[in-house]
Homo-oligomer: A and B are copies of this chain.
Amino acid sequence: MLISILMLMAFNRQNKVKVIFFGDSITQAGVNPGGYVKRIDSMSRQQGKLQYEFIGAGIGGNKIYDLYLRMEDDVLSKNPNIVVLYIGVNDVWHKASSGTGTDADKFAKFYQAVIDKLKAKNSKVILCTPAVIGEKTDGSNQQDGDLTEYSKIIRGLAEKNDLPLVDLRKAFLQYNLVHNTGNKDRGILTTDRVHLNAAGNQLVADEIWKAIQAL
């Protein structure tokens, strides 16, 4: 009992486990009420795991190279203990929507460079695959091929760098195979094919929270 109290005392503000969520608009919205970061924060408190401090670092429209550009200011300077990388949707999506996506080989290169900088700062890193651009389960969402390819790249980087992976793309597909029998393109885990509704935020929160605790 005394030990528990001492342990809790030890996790004062200075000694908190700082977790930064580094990503795009999905993560930017994640810190809003109902967002996945907010949900992880709530879950951790409810479970009495008070040692964590959760910080959102998501900016709309970001691709992997935007993360690389701003990581000194927005992540490294804050000395995080854990960084959750959740990026890739815009790298694929912007090819079609504005002609400014990211080539697969450069995606891999910048992603590795982000990992290297985090490791050099002794931060633990959790990788996430980009979930969906469209929720149809029959493989007919326009970007399904590319999202699968970029997810494979991230899975490969997790393995190569021996890092934990939260395979959101796989989790979303499995969820939708059960809950999206109508093959709809939105409305099950997203509001608009990309951004998370309540169920989507909860699913992401559950998956990432598991990975954080497993570190």
Residues of chain B contacted by A94 (CB below 8 angstroms): 99
Partner of A145, one of B95, B113, B142: B142
Task: Give this chain's copy count.
Answer: 4
* Contact between B139 and A145, CB atoms less than 8 A apart: yes
Render A136-156 as a binary contact track against B, CB cut-off 8 A, 1 for contact.
001111111111110010000
Q: Are B139 and A139 in contact (CB under 8 A)?
A: yes
Docked Cα-Cα span, A140 to B95, in Å, equals 16
Q: Please judge, given known A-B contacts A95-B99, A102-B100, whether A110 and B69 are in contact too, CB under 8 Å.
A: yes
A66 at the interface (CB under 8 A from B): yes
Any B CB within 8 A of the CB of A6: no
Contacts of A100 in B (CB 8 A): 95, 99-103, 106
Complex Cα distance, B94 from A103, in Å, reads: 10
Residues from chain B with a CB closer than 8 A to the CB of A3 are none
- Judged by a CB distance under 8 angstroms, whether A65 is at the interface is yes
Bitwise interface map of A from 100 to 127 toward B, beta carbon under 8 Å scored 1, else 0 = 1111001001100100000000000000
Cross-chain pairs A/B with CB under 8 angstroms, 18 sampled:
A65-B69, A65-B110, A66-B106, A96-B96, A97-B97, A97-B98, A99-B100, A138-B152, A139-B139, A139-B148, A140-B145, A140-B148, A140-B149, A142-B146, A142-B149, A144-B145, A145-B146, A145-B147
**The 5 A-B residue pairs with the shortest CB-CB distance in the complex, in nearest-first order:** A144-B145, A95-B99, A140-B149, A140-B148, A65-B65
